[in-house]
Structures are given as structure tokens and as C-alpha cells.
Chains A and B, each alone.
Chain A
Amino acid sequence: GAVVSQHPSRVICKSGTSVKIECRSLDFQATTMFWYRQFPKQSLMLMATSNEGSKATYEQGVEKDKFLINHASLTLSTLTVTSAHPEDSSFYICSAPKEGGRYEQYFGPGTRLTVT
């Protein structure tokens, strides 16, 4: 099956700093990628849709200036958490649908962010 990678898998940063998380589709092109946030023992919350060549679409309640998304190429989307605070600590997961035939969505392994 298709592979989506995320980097880093874990990151610890200090309050006030920014952290960049990468999401890559390794063997297919993705014009769209999705970013989710997962709180402990809870479901995934869609944060935003990343669109190659255009601005990301943010879900209601998600601060676009805090969670910067850049879809740099057909295989890479980045999520930057700016001026991180402890409440931003979470598990961030990206997914990418593989186009062609019936759309199948593939998930990255997730990035655990801890803000101290």
C-alpha cells in the first residue's frame, strides 16, 4: 500500500518556540493532505486541509496564525506550530488520499509534540 511518513516522530520544545512537522507521501502524489490532532484517549479532530498551490482550509476554531500549513510540493506538507504552549502538546497526524480509482486515505504514523 501507499506510504505516508511524518517527521519527527517525537519532539519536545520549550514554550514560545516554533516546531515544524513534515508529512510526506513517499510513493504517490497528493494534491491534498489533512492534518489531525488527537488528544489522549480521544478521537481525531480535523484541523485543516492542506492544498498544494493554494492556501490551507482551516476547520472552525483552529487558529490559522498559530498552525501554519504549507503544501510545498505534491509530496510534502508541513505544519508549523508557532509560539508553542503546553496546551499545544498533542499527537498530530497527517493523511493523504491517493487519487486514481477509488480514493484511499493513508495516514502518517503521527508526531508526538510535548511543549514544556
Chain B
Amino acid sequence: GDSVTQMEGPVTLSEEAFLTINCTYTATGYPSLFWYVQYPGEGLQLLLKATKADDKGSNKGFEATYRKETTSFHLEKGSVQVSDSAVYFCALRNAGNMLTFGGGTRLMVKP
């Protein structure tokens, strides 16, 4: 079946540091890929997405590129802020609208 693997956290960075959260997937066919963010006590919010190979999703300074050859969708941001502290989930959607989530990575940004 489909699966998503992302790096375990927590990831602790200083403000303005460069962020990478790795995500790899296993799926049949051509899934769409997503990054969701969850702030403390809240539900998930879509951060960015990519629907086909080589697409780059971007939002709020975050980027991720759909790499079919490496089955990866790594999340990056050039300069993190304290307000970026949250849990980030990589996910894929295959047939049937169901999402398969990775385990989540907690990011803590210190001032």
C-alpha cells in the first residue's frame, strides 16, 4: 500500500536558519503530494501541494519539489521564524481522495 516517511523530530533551529524536512513516499500510480502544517491545538492547514512530477509547490516562503525519480517531496525554507514552530505533515493522495500521512515532524524555532 501507499506510505509516507518523513524525518523524525523534533527539529530545533534558530531564527533565520535554513530548514529542510525530508519526505519520501511509496505509491502506485501518480499521487498528488502535500505538506500540511498543524499549529498547537489546531487542525491541519494545507501549506503547499504538487500534483505531478517536477512541480514545485510554494507558500509563505516554504517550497517543495515533486521528485518522481527519488520519490521525494522535501520541504525547505530559507529563513525560518519563531512563528513557523509547528508540526509538519507530508501526505500523498492517490485514488479515492484518501490521504496517507507521514508521522509528522515537529519544528521548534528559537529566537
Contact = CB atoms under 8 A, between A and B. Distances in A.
Interface in B59-111: 89, 93, 97-99, 101-104, 106
A42 B43 contact: no
A44 B51 CA distance: 22
Contact of B89 (A32, A44, A102, A112): A44
Contact of B98 (A49, A102, A110): A49
B46 interface: yes
Q: Give the contact-size bracket for chain B.
A: 10 to 19
Contacts of B97: 32, 97, 103, 105
Interface string A85-106: 0000000010101000011111
B44 interface: yes
Contacts of A104: 46
Give chain A's interface secondary structure class: strand
24 contacts: A32-B97, A34-B98, A34-B99, A41-B104, A42-B103, A43-B89, A43-B102, A43-B103, A44-B44, A44-B101, A46-B99, A95-B99, A97-B97, A102-B32, A104-B46, A106-B46, A107-B36, A107-B43, A107-B44, A107-B45, A107-B46, A108-B43, A110-B42, A110-B43
